[in-house]
Structure 1
Amino acid sequence: MVNSKHFVLVHGICHGAWCWYKVATLLKSAGHRVTALDLGSSGVDPRRLDEVYSISDSLQPLMDSIASLPHDERVILVGHSYGGMGISLAMESFPDKILVAVFVTAFMPNIIFPPATLVQEDLELAKMLVKPSKLFLQDLAMESLLTEEKFGSVSRVYIVCDKDELLKEDFQRWMIEKSPPKEVKSIAGADHMIMLSKPNELCLSLQQIAEKY
């Protein structure tokens, strides 16, 4: 019988919970519980973009979801692309509620530099818009957002997508070098939208992580 875990899936910028539908179905079929969230003004979230004033507003659905967990439940937190910023802030806020954080070809900040330094010059994000969004660079420029005591206490796994044309493999490897996670996995031939192009391979990696952590 599968060792059932609870996965919380966090989408990247301009997307929504919809992008996880293939992976969510596969994980549920394997016996896991899955929560795929729409962040503020994303997906079917009713708020307009001009009603989301800060990254805290954007991440409210994620933070509320984790805060509502039973006191003895811990989740596997998965972030894709810009969702890596969101799960990092969730790690800082709820380190005791997270079994492991998985960065899927995602921005992975560290405690040395403000998170905004990773994206300040990444204009390619603006070319990938599916739904208008914000980067909240001013919020992410604060140096005290992440700490070793909280963010640093959560186990991290990075999944490299070697054919990603948005977050190039060299950039993924640079983030890994600057803040080494416990484990690095690589999925050959995976592009940026791995959850749609290689859902079976991604699901297998997530299941392996669930078994290990």
Structure 2
Amino acid sequence: MSDQKPMRIILVHGSSHGAWCWYKVMAGLLSKGYSVKAIDLAASGADSRKIPEDVSTFDDYNSPLMEFMSTIPDGEKIILVGHSFGGLNLAFAMDAFPEKIAAAVFLTAFLPDTTHQVSYFIDLQFQQLLDRKIEPEINLVVVPGKSEPLITICFDSKFLATYLYQNSSFEDLTLASVMMRTTSTFSEDLKKNSLLAKGGFGSVDKMYIICNEDALISKEHQRWMIQNNGTVKEIMEIEGADHMPMFSKPNELCQCLASIVDKYYSI
């Protein structure tokens, strides 16, 4: 790839997934000469750690992204892309390293603000799911040294087929069913965090890609988060995309990301 364009796109997966879920998008972007990397968060994908044995806080979970951000040389900027719950991972990276991020792309993702705790957006999404009678498998796990039990979440094949992969191929759904990992929202832990800063998270240019047939985070809720945040510079929408556009609409997603990169980098 000696003709790669001098830019880096960093892809951050959502709950229970891993770097593997970006393989179609990575191939599409690499074939066009873009520099792209997908990260496994802790206890996700190929990362050997487990929830809750090794990972019981959001900081633990987010450590691979934060460690990567710390290695970016001074003066270099990247584009961060976060899917679903991965929007919260982006938010903390933006807050800590705003000078290293040219733009942050929220892909049908949780988009917080600087006036509510991040846990507010988790609670809001779960309440919406309960109102719609959508309930993933939830367990409470007692973790030594923690006053509150850790909520762990699993997505079974039926849940995946109905709410995440309904427009994706059966082959991709089967892959996901094999690759799923137990995860957590770490909501009790995040309730103790300070608000995101206007000079950190609030200062980074934000883009949002709406998936208009998302059965998990509704199109209406995606638009509400955009309006509530109030600082999103550009909104794109992918027609026919379910919650997993990297599988259901990979070419369209690549086009969206390429247009954002080309806008923020001189090629």
TM-score by length of 2: 0.76
Which one is further off, 6-15 or 125-134?
Answer: 125-134
* Correspondence list, 1:7-26, <5 A: 7-26=9-28
Instruction: Report the Cα offset of residue 189 of structure 1.
Output: 0.9
Query: Counterpart in 1 of 2:104?
Result: 101
For 2:16 and 2:189, the matched residues in 1 are separated by 18
Inter-partner Cα distance in structure 1 for 2:30 and 2:79:
14
Change in Cα spacing, 1:143 to 1:48, as seen in structure 2 (3 Å) is closer
Q: CA deviation at 1:166?
A: 0.3
Aligned-partner residue type, residue 118 of structure 1: F
Name the CA distance, whole Å, in 1 between partners of 2:200 and 2:29.
28
Please give the per-residue CA displacement for 1:50-81, whole angstroms capped at 9, x wherever unaligned.
21021010011000111111212111000000
Higher Rg of the two aligned structures: 2
User: What amino acid is the match of 2:260?
Assistant: I
Distance 2:99 2:114 in 1: 18
Q: Percent identity?
A: 44
Compute the displacement of 1:3 (Å): 4.8
The CA distance in 2 between the partners of 1:131 and 1:158, in whole Å, is 26
Cα separation, 2, equivalents of 1:119 and 1:68? 29
| 1:61 and 2:64 correspond | yes
Which runs of structure 2 are paired with 1:169-208 in the superposition (5 Å)?
169-180=219-230, 181-208=232-259
1:38 aligns with one of 18, 36, 40:
40
| Contact 1:9/1:37 (<8 A) preserved | yes
In structure 2, the residue corresponding to 1:26 is in which secondary structure? helix
CA distance in 2, matches of 1:125, 1:76: 33
**Structure 1 runs not aligned, ≥5 long:** none
Aligned-partner Cα distance in 2 for 1:194–1:28: 18
Deviation, 1:120, is 1.6
Conservation of the 8 A alpha-carbon contact between 2:4 and 2:35: no
CA drift at 1:143 = 5.9
Q: Which amino acid aligns with 2:19?
A: A
Q: Distance in 2 between matches of 1:137 and 1:198?
A: 30
- How far does the alpha carbon of each residue in 1:8-30 deviate from its partner, in whole angstroms, 9 at most, with x for none? 10000000000000001111111
Aligned residues between the structures: 213
Segments of 5+ residues of structure 2 without an aligned counterpart are: 138-153, 156-179
1: CA distance, partners of 2:247 / 2:32: 18
CA distance in 1, matches of 2:240, 2:55: 36
Counterpart for residue 170 of structure 2: none
Q: Aligned ranges for residues 99-138 of structure 1 at < 5 Å?
A: 99-121=102-124, 122=126, 123=129, 124=134, 126=136, 129=155, 130-138=180-188
1:75: which partner in 2? 78
SS in 2 for 1:160: strand
Q: What displacement does 1:136 show?
A: 0.6
Structure 2 Cα separation of the partners of residues 99 and 27 of structure 1: 18
Match of 1:90 in 2: 93
Query: How far is 1:125 from its partner?
Result: 7.2
Q: Is the 8 A contact 2:115 2:195 kept in 1?
A: no
What amino acid is aligned across from residue 205 of structure 1 in structure 2?
C
> Which deviates the most, 148-157 or 134-143?
134-143
Look up the match of 1:147.
197
